[in-house]
Amino acid sequence: MHPLLAFLLLHIITTASAAQLRPGFYRETCPEAEFVVREVLKKALIREPRSVASVMRFQFHDCLVNGCDASMLLDDTPTMLGEKEALSNINSLRSFEVIDEVKEAVERICPGVVSCADIIIMAARDAVALTGGPYWEVRLGRLDSLTARQEDSNQIMPSPRSNASSLIDLFSKYNLSVKDLVALSGTHSIGQARCFSIMFRLYNQSGTGRPDPAIEPKFRANLNKLCPPSVDQNVTGDLDATPRLFDNQYFKDLVAGRGFLNSDQTLFTFTETRKFVELFSKNQAEFFMALVEGMLKLGDLQSNQPGEIRRNCRMVNGRHVNTFWES
């Protein structure tokens, strides 16, 4: 490649990374983008209702690890271990094909314009709105990362065993308050989790050989039936009693001792978080307002690393540039 072209490419990549996020970022360059994302999500919801919850979760797993940069969507390469196989993601994150479908649809109308990182943010918002939750205006203009870091994901993402105080500490590192933590955990109003994530709390909470005493007995009997000790741990259960509806049932369940994950139920057991669980269980509007605020703050996390607009969310564009270099 001509050195000047190489310099220009690098310049485009690095200077663009300083872009400011704002609503309506694609108003001139791709006015149909938000509509197209919404239409694909609507189809996904009909095809497989759980898939929108699975896509919603991407915002958390992307943004917490080096900012919202779609690093989580990169497939492994011979020289890079991606985040898909990180501890919290392997055999767990799913519905990547929905994002592929969105990206293909968006690329058809405005190629090379809309980032995969922004697609995650729009899709998470739409997943909430399409299942009965609030709608909010998203800030856009993110770039896609040039790499992924499995080790960072392993270090950062919280385990389902976490207690509230460790979650408070983790979230505070991202400028997310106790209220944000409780509201954002309320996204477990939709979707499912695997037996794998609760075996310890059913049979050996904190190494006691006993179940978590915070589980309401009838609910525990149901969980024992769903996840007996010999179960295939990929069997899934609902995260709340209305897993297709984005509502405040999750918080009502926590008050009743019917939280699925330890990291859910701990929010009621622990005093600092309990007041928000109680508030949201009684007042859905308060939950929705806090959720929107939390999602916006989560979506604002940035890496300040160089980026690009990927053509395919699963791989960086560099591969094409390499081909160009080689020829």
Residue 247, marked binder:
yes
CB of 100 to ligand HEM, least distance (A): 16
Q: Which of 66, 115, 145, 192 binds ligand HEM (CB under 6 A)?
A: 192
CB of 272 to ligand HEM, least distance (A): 14
**Other residues' Cβ atoms within 10 Å of the Cβ of residue 16:** 15
Q: Which stretch binds ligand HEM (CB under 6 A): 6-14, 17-25, 53-61, 309-317?
A: 53-61
User: To the nearest whole angstrom, how small is the minimum distance from the Cβ of residue 143 to ligand HEM?
Assistant: 21
How many chain residues touch ligand HEM (CB under 6 A)?
27
User: 2, 11, 61, 320: which is the annotated catalytic residue?
Assistant: 61
The yes or no reply on residue 269 touching ligand HEM (CB under 6 A) is no
Of 146, 173, 103, 123, residue with least CA distance to 17: 146
Residue 38: which residues within 8 A CB-CB, separation 6 or more? 122, 126, 130
For residue 194, the 8-state DSSP code is: E
Residue 265: exposed, middle, or buried by beta-carbon count in 10 A (0-12, 13-18, 19+)?
A: buried
Decide: helix, strand or coil at residue 203. Answer: helix
The verdict on whether residue 83 carries a ligand-binding annotation is yes
Element (H, E) at 178: helix 178-185
Tell me whether residue 134 is annotated as binding: no
**Under rule CB under 6 A, which residues in 231-250 are in contact with ligand HEM?**
239
Which stretch in 31-39, 72-80, 113-121, 155-163 sits in contact with ligand HEM by CB under 6 A?
Answer: 155-163
> Does the active-site annotation cover 61?
yes
Angle between helices 284-299 and 271-282 (to 10 degrees): 120
52 binds ligand HEM (CB under 6 A): no
Known binder of ligand: residue 79?
no
Closer by beta carbon to ligand HEM, 59 or else 249: 59
Q: Is 142 in the site for ligand HEM (CB under 6 A)?
A: no
Binding to ligand HEM by CB under 6 A, coded x per residue (else -) over 58-87, reads: -xx---------------------------
- What tokens appear for 278 in the block? 């109680």
- Cβ atoms 106, 36 nearer than 8 A: yes
CB count in 10 Å sphere of residue 218: 11
Give me 89's structure tokens. 């993601």
Residue nearest to ligand HEM (CB): 191
Interface with ligand HEM, residue 263, by CB under 6 A? yes
- Token pair 């008050």 is found at 255
Please indicate if the annotation marks 65 as binding a ligand: yes
14 has binding-site annotation = no
Q: What is the DSSP string of 28-93?
A: TT-TTHHHHHHHHHHHHHHH-THHHHHHHHHHHHHHTTTSSSSGGGPPPBTTB--STTSTTTTTT-
- Where along the sequence are the contacts to ligand HEM (CB under 6 A)? 50, 53-54, 56-57, 59-60, 92, 94, 158, 160, 162, 167, 184-185, 187-188, 190-194, 196-197, 239, 261, 263
**Catalytic residue numbers, as ranges:** 61
Annotated binding site for heme b: 188
Annotated binding site for substrate: 158
